[in-house]
Copies of this chain bind each other. A is one copy, B any other.
Amino acid sequence: MKADVKHWQASNPLISVVMNKVILLNSRPIGKPTLGDFKIIKEEMATAKDGELLLKTLYVSVDPYLRGRMNDTKSYVPPFELNKPIQSGVIAEVMDCKNTVGFKKGDFVFGNLDWKEYQTSAGKGLNKVDGSEVDLSAYLGILGMTGLTAYLGLTEIGIPKKGETLVVSGAGGAVGTVVGQVGKLLGCKVVGITGSDEKAAMLKSKFKFDDAINYKTTPDLKEAIKNACPNGVDIYFDNVGGEISDAVLANINKYARLPVCGAISLYNNTKPAIGPRLQPILLTKSATMRGFIVSDFSEKFPAAIKQLTKWLKEGHITYIETIVEGFDNIPQAFIDLFEGKNEGKMIVKVQ
């Protein structure tokens, strides 16, 4: 099945030279990233040597977590190096191969690859993907890291039980929309928190959330959550951190589970963020807050992808993408994540 795709053109003042283009980290962002933190260069066209594939980049995933790798601090993955290509999830087509095992010309692959128009690879870490029944871009979203993040964070840490109340922040994003739908399929009441009335309406109409709150216009978020969740909050799937999470925490039930998937509201902070201490509420509620990255659950990927694919084909879950066109627009698309300009998964279509 094909999902709705929102086409959206970012303005971009960067260069537009031909040949094989590459995007490097030009400087480590201070606070919010700017276009100046990136540099587009051209280099000689890549060619496959013996044992290598030549890959043409089709779709590039831009994700909030990449912001962490732009700092020179240890995170779950090593930082990007200055003047080296940035990497993220990429769907590519095999254009050529020289004695490689398991791949042939015309295959489509997913991998964590450089932001380059063309690149070579020995095939390690690449997975073949099948675009015959779903759009290839789905492997960057619902059937890729974001879908797995949503499904596994919710089922392994949130451990939803029928009749419980699930609150999701960043609900209109790539992960949030899947979390809410999976929560509904598992029998929860689902309330989303998002940043516009349009997104709130979409969560209810398209993604079947029971309720959605626009945190930007709600005068008292804590009270709004209380009203939307008269039985309290059993699971809080946290994509944002910060004051939104404070308001949810004020409404958690005994034995609440709080998967911490992201903290987008804090990623651009230049100093450690300050807020109410959490120990007293976790203590009085016997609550569990657990941070994770999807690779913590890598042994569960095959079963999770099988389940998500089944639901997708049966029409039980759907997804939304914001597709930005053009290789040069990758940096701007990334920057726009922090303004919440995406609905669902933000993807750059390169060619």
Contacts and interface: CB of A to CB of B under 8 A. Distances in A.
Interface of A: 68, 74-76, 238, 241-242, 245, 254-255, 260-263, 266, 272-293, 296
Contacts of A263: 277, 279-280, 283
Contacts of A290: 282, 286-290
Given A289-B289, A290-B289, A241 B284 contact: no
For the residues of A in contact with B, the DSSP-based class is mixed
Contacts of A272: 276-277, 280
Contacts of A241: 277, 279-280
A283 B285 CA distance: 21
A273 B277 contact: yes
Nearest to A257: B290
State the copy count for this chain. 2
Contact of A286 (B74, B238, B292): B292
A242 B280 CA distance: 10
A293 B290 CA distance: 18
Nearest to A242: B277
A287 to B, nearest CB: 6
Contact of A260 (B273, B274, B279): B279
A275 B274 contact: yes
Contacts of A274: 274-277
A275 B273 contact: no
A286 B276 contact: no
A204 B256 CA distance: 37
A220 B263 CA distance: 28
Given A266-B279, A282-B290, 7 more contacts: A75-B284, A272-B277, A278-B278, A279-B289, A282-B291, A283-B292, A289-B289
**Most B CB atoms within 10 A — which of A75, A276, A278, A293?**
A278
A164 B307 CA distance: 36
A283 B282 CA distance: 16
Nearest to A276: B272
A284 B76 contact: yes
A116 B43 CA distance: 85
Contact of A289 (B255, B273, B285, B288): B288
Contact of A278 (B261, B283, B289, B293): B289
A74 B283 CA distance: 12
A1 to B, nearest CB: 33
Contacts of A289: 278-279, 282, 288-290
27 contacts: A75-B284, A76-B283, A76-B286, A238-B279, A241-B279, A241-B280, A242-B277, A255-B296, A260-B279, A260-B282, A260-B283, A261-B283, A262-B283, A272-B276, A272-B277, A273-B277, A273-B280, A274-B277, A275-B277, A278-B278, A279-B289, A281-B291, A282-B289, A283-B291, A286-B293, A286-B296, A288-B288
Given A260-B283, A284-B68, A284-B75, A273 B273 contact: no
A275 B274 CA distance: 5
Contacts of A68: 284
Contacts of A288: 288-291
A277 to B, nearest CB: 4
Contacts of A75: 284
A207 to B, nearest CB: 24
